[in-house]
């Protein structure tokens, strides 16, 4: 295995761990649809970066962080559900992104592409994934209380507004980290599908977190291996493996129930 392939594998597994953890709390916060929509907010940033001839991932990160801040601000001001606010921002971002990025560049932005990692991309990616993982593990109990009952969380002394903002930023960062491999259309799937599969199997939150991370890792590793075997882009194959695990779980539960 070359250094390049090892670097790509290291980063993809780190992103999978972050996605698995973030996804469990996305389900708890009822962000199933919002998770996929938020990933599309990256498109305008990718389009602007392409026009300016800078790294598209840098543009995507800026737009995702800005989108997370905008969603949080609108959520606080309007008191609408996160999915509703995200849907509005998503629609505007998708239209703007389609205008700014065209042709092959748009396809790559939507579905991802496996290209060589630069040193700064590897370092920044690992640092970002590490920050997301650390945040979820350290804020786990506060996130649970907040997402189950914000009133109870406030009574317990949790700053609900700040914690919600930090979660949205961690979510946006996770999406940005996975854009290289899965693109804007597919990254939300890696966050949601392993977590949804884990929900079917787990009996408590700890089991759900462990299973979600394990399933995301299986999807990332198996999808990457299949892509090298079939000479296809890794993104669709990673999501296909994750979806296969989900449906196998449903089949297993149906047989047990019968």
d(CA 48, CA 127): 25
* pLDDT tens figures, 73-92: 887 787 777 667 777 776 77
Show the domain range for 136: 3-257
Backbone angle region of 14, left / alpha / beta, with phi > 0 → left and psi within -120 to 50 → alpha: alpha
Mean pLDDT of 38-48: 76
Residue 53's pLDDT is 76
- Percentage of residues of the chain with pLDDT beyond 70: 81
Coil, strand or helix at 30 = coil
Distance separating alpha carbons of residues 137 and 172, to the nearest angstrom: 17
- Percent of the chain exceeding pLDDT 90 equals 28
Q: What is the residue whose two structure tokens read 């969603």?
A: 71
What is the average pLDDT value for the chain, to the nearest integer?
81
pLDDT above 80 for 1: no
Cβ neighbours around 204 below 10 Å, total: 7
Digit-coded pLDDT (tens) for 17-35: 999 999 999 888 877 666 6
* Three state DSSP letters for 118-159: CHHHHHHHHHHHHHHHHHHHHHHHHHHHHHHCHHHHHHCCCC
What is the count of structural domains for the chain? 1
Structure pTM? 0.83
- In this prediction, residue 245 carries a pLDDT of 93
**21 or 258, greater pLDDT:** 21
CATH number of the domain that residue 197 is part of: 1.10.3470.10
Q: How confident is the model at residue 3 (pLDDT cuts 50, 70, 90)?
A: very low
* Selection from 149, 155, 144, 134 nearest residue 208 by Cα: 144
CA–CA separation, 5 vs 211, rounded Å?
26
Query: What is the number of other CB atoms lying within 10 angstroms of the CB of residue 46?
Result: 27
Averaged pLDDT for residues 61-83: 79
Q: Cβ distance 180 to 17 under 8 Å?
A: no
Q: Give the per-residue pLDDT at 104.
A: 60
Residue 4: predicted pLDDT? 43
- Please check whether residue 136 is in contact with residue 143, taking contact to mean a CB–CB distance below 8 angstroms: yes
Cβ partners under 8 Å of residue 37, min gap 6: 83, 86, 87, 89, 90, 188
CA distance 201 to 253: 9
Among residues 185, 240, 193, the alpha carbon closest in space to that of 213 is found at 193
């Amino acid at each position: 295995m070359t250094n390049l392939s090892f670097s790509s594998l290291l980063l993809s597994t780190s992103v999978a761990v972050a996605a698995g953890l973030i996804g469990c709390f996305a389900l708890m916060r009822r962000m199933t649809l919002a998770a996929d929509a938020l990933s599309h907010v990256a498109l305008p940033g990718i389009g602007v970066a392409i026009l300016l001839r800078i790294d598209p991932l840098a543009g995507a990160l800026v737009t995702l962080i800005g989108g997370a801040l905008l969603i949080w601000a609108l959520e606080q001001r309007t008191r609408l559900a996160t999915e509703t606010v995200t849907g509005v921002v998503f629609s505007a971002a998708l239209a703007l992104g389609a205008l700014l990025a065209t042709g092959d560049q748009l396809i790559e932005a939507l579905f991802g592409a496996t290209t060589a990692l630069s040193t700064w991309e590897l370092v920044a990616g690992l640092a970002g994934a590490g920050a997301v993982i650390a945040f979820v593990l350290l804020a786990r109990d506060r996130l649970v209380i907040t997402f189950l009952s914000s009133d109870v969380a406030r009574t317990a002394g949790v700053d609900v507004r700040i914690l919600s903002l930090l979660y949205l930023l961690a979510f946006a960062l996770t999406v940005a980290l996975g854009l290289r491999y899965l693109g804007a259309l597919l990254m939300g799937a890696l966050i949601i599908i392993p977590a949804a599969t884990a929900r079917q199997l787990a009996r408590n939150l700890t089991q759900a977190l462990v299973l979600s991370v394990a399933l995301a890792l299986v999807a990332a590793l198996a999808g990457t291996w299949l892509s090298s075997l079939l000479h296809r882009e890794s993104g669709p194959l990673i999501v296909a493996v994750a979806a296969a695990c989900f449906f196998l779980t449903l089949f297993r539960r149906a047989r047990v129930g019968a």
